[in-house]
Amino acid sequence: MTYSLKDLNGSPTSVSDEDLSALRAEMRGSVLLPDDEGYEAARTVWNGMIDRHPGLVVQPLGTSDVKAAVEFAARHALLISIQGGGHQIGGLAVADGALLLDMSRMRHAHVDPDARTVRVGAGCLLGDVDRECQRHGLAFPTGINSTTGIAGLTLGGGFGWITRKHGMTVDNLLSAEIVTADGSILTISPDSHPDLFWACTGGGGNFGVVTSFKFRLHPVGPEILSGLLVHPLDAGPELLRKFREISTSAPDELTVWTVMRKAPPLPFIPEDWHGREVLIFAVCYCGDMAEGEEAVAELRALGRPIADVIGPHSYIGWQAAFDPLLTPGMRNYWKSQDFLDLTEETIGHLLDAARDLPDDQSEIVLPHLGGAMARVAPDATAFPQRASHFTMNLHTRWEDPGKDEACIAWARALSDKVAAQSAGSVYVNFMPEDDAGRIDSAYGANMDRLRAVKARYDPGNLFRVNHNIRPEADARAAE
């Protein structure tokens, strides 16, 4: 008996029953076929638009299992995809007919409070890590949705509420364990295989399968000053101008994200504002509470807010505060641009689009990045955009498949309108699958070095189901 899969070129191929039996014999984890229990759950990712059917699912329990799966894929020239948390907007964790390497069972996190480090398995979600670290009053910068996978976040760069104070996720990465295309198990760090370590600080899953990460921790929490300021969208022009000024002088401890959307039915928002267009400042201060109150005073004094719910909150709670708006299963499409400044033209385009949202669940998110992350050289990590900047994420979200065309068109149109005012760069973790042509924009001057590292560690491009960095020779041939 044989089983149908796809090869590296996407063409049909097969493996025998004997081949699968040999793989199972090497593993402690699971090997699932389409009719097996657990297959459907394994292939389902966060974005409800993605409905792909891998030919085989491998769920490793440890690094030796990962090695066996990678060697199996390489030996049979199989298309292979890698899933951590499954949050990547383009659904690149899973591919039709591929061998899906599902890391979800490698979900361990071990904190060394004395050394202020944490070792994290590649299947961990952000919430797993936050809970373990906060038992010791420690944290490192991650994202804003607790169900995001730590692996994908880190490998793309990673930023969140404490990035201005403590840098990006990759700035706190000390070492990692990785299985490369030839089945080698390597510990990578600035002192061990430094070129490969560098490539993994933003270069995505192009260079191997990371099985664990070691991060530096910082004293944070257990309480931080955080919350929302909700304003009418009509006040947006003046609010965004003032926000632009405040952001240039804000202390590193203060992070403010601007969100433009229709007001969700939250209990602290007056009922007559539910479903109406609002501009929200999401605020986090990760230092002394009294100093935080002073730092946010100017922002709180702006306009006449509909709601002001800034106050002490648990760090873990704030890290998960937006989970109810980011539940899995909805249809999602993103477009993103970076801005070094918010020009009047940009502000106008953003506000016009916010008055014409394609769905009540869609939103324009505008994080401000700077502080510690901007004091790192652009070539120090594979992630290159180190200037203080605003990252626009057009987070289009809806339920009815009949709205696909309208929602996607809205995001593309706004992205095109503001592209001329942008910095020309883009955050790889915000790129949908159809943004493959922007891969050079994601890495800028670091791309040539990334291609050289790819050529050294994955010359056959085994790891290609991602925002792909082709090996140096392949890239030159395609030009």
101 closest CA partner among 133, 66, 74, 134:
66
Q: What percent of the chain has pLDDT over 70?
A: 99
The model's confidence at residue 476, banded by pLDDT at 50, 70 and 90, is: low
**Average pLDDT of the segment spanning 240-266:** 95
Is the pLDDT at 120 greater than 90? The verdict is yes
Residues 125-137 pLDDT 10s: 999 999 999 999 9
State the pTM of this model.
Answer: 0.95
Please classify residue 324 by burial: count the beta carbons closer than 10 Å to its beta carbon, then call 0-12 exposed, 13-18 middle and 19+ buried: exposed
Whose tokens are 């501009």? That residue is: 279
Helices 289-300, 236-249: crossing angle, 10 deg rounding? 140
Task: Pull the structure tokens for residue 270.
Answer: 């007056």
Q: Cis omega before residue 222 (within 30°)?
A: yes
Residues 166-184 pLDDT 10s: 999 999 999 999 999 999 9
Instruction: State the pLDDT at residue 3.
Output: 86
Question: Rounded distance, CA 76 to CA 16, Å?
Answer: 11
Contact 116, 132 (CB under 8 A): no
Question: Rounded distance, CA 244 to CA 388, Å?
Answer: 12
Q: What are phi and psi of 240, to 5 degrees?
A: -70, -35
**Chain Cα centroid distance, residue 97:** 25
Please report the domains of the chain, with CATH numbers, ordered by start residue. 2-102 (3.30.43.10), 109-219 (3.30.465.10), 223-437 (3.40.462.20), 447-478 (no CATH)
Is the pLDDT at 345 greater than 90? The verdict is yes
Could you give the angle at the alpha carbon of 172 between the alpha carbons of 168 and 178, nearest 5°? 110
* Residues near 456 by beta carbon (within 8 Å), at least 6 away in sequence: 195, 196
Cross-strand bridge partners of residue 6: 12
**Average pLDDT of the segment spanning 192-219:** 98
H or E, element range at 385? none
